Amino acid sequence: MFSLAEENYLKAIYHLESKAKGAVSTNAIADAMDTKPSSVTDMVQKLAEKKLLSYIKYKGTSLTTLGKKTAADVIRKHRLWEVFLVEKLKFHWDEVHDIAEQLEHVHSEELIARLDKFLGFPDFDPHGDPIPDEHGNVKPTEKKLLSELNKKQRGVCVGVKESNSEFLRYLDKKNITIGTKISVLGKEFFDGSMVIQVGQDQFFISKKIAENLYIQTS
C-alpha cells in the first residue's frame, strides 16, 4: 500500500513519461506537481528504494513495471470515479477532476471491481481518456477529433477536448454525451463545418465544435 504522496508522484511521472519519451527530469516533475525540485529529488530517491522507479542522479527517472502498474491503478480509479460522477451524479464533465483526485486514493480492490461493474465496464472517462483495465493495460486509443472524420464516417463520442460550461450546455441541448453515436453526413472543406446525425436529429456544427469533440471509431 502506498501513501497519497507516493501515488501522486507515480501518477505524475506516468503522465510525463507517456508524453515526452525518455527519462523524466526532476524539474518536469516539480512543475507538474507544483512543488520544488528538491522535494522531488527526495521523493524520487525513496521511490527508487521501493523499486517503483529507476533513478540515476542528474539523469532523470523512469518507472519500473511495478511503478507503471501502480500508477495505472490510480489512474484507473480516477477515471472510473469520473464516470460515476458524471453518469450517476450528473456532474458536468469539467467539475469532476478535483473530486476524483481525492476518490482515486481510496484503497479497496473490491470497491473498484464493483464500481466498474456498476458503471457497465466503461472504456473511457468523461474526457475521452481510456480507462486502464485491472492489470494496468491501456487499450491503444482510437480516439480522434470529430473534425478529423470525413463524410459517411461514424463513431462514438468519448469526450471533450477543452471543456467550458457553455460548450457543455450546448452539448446537453443537442443530447450529445459520452456514448452518443455520431455520423458525419456532410463536410464543407472551406470552413470545416459539418452536418452530423445524432439519434434522429440532423444538424449543422461549426469547425470549432468539431475540433472539441473526441470520437472513437473502430
Residue 26 or 212: which CB sits closer to DNA? 26
Contact with DNA (CB under 7 A) among 11, 12, 14, 26: 26
- For the packed helices 65-83 and 4-19, what is the interaxial angle rounded to 10 degrees? 100
**CA pair distance 84, 115, nearest whole angstrom:** 8
Please report whether residue 5 would count as binding DNA according to CB under 7 A.
yes
Please report whether residue 48 would count as binding DNA according to CB under 7 A.
no
Contact with a second copy (CB under 8 A) among 1, 34, 58, 90: 90
Q: Smallest gap, in angstroms, from Cβ of residue 193 to a second copy? A: 36
Q: How many CB atoms lie within 10 A of CB 14?
A: 21
Residue 60 or 126: which CB sits closer to a second copy? 126
C-alpha grid cell for residue 53? 522507479
Of the listed pieces 18-26, 103-111, 159-167, 179-187, which binds a second copy according to CB under 8 A?
103-111
Of the listed pieces 25-33, 112-120, 134-142, 149-157, which binds DNA according to CB under 7 A?
25-33
Please report whether residue 3 would count as binding DNA according to CB under 7 A.
yes
Please report whether residue 108 would count as binding DNA according to CB under 7 A.
no
The DSSP code sequence of 41-78 is: HHHHHHHHHTTSEEEETTTEEEE-HHHHHHHHHHHHHH
* Cβ atoms 100, 81 nearer than 8 A: yes
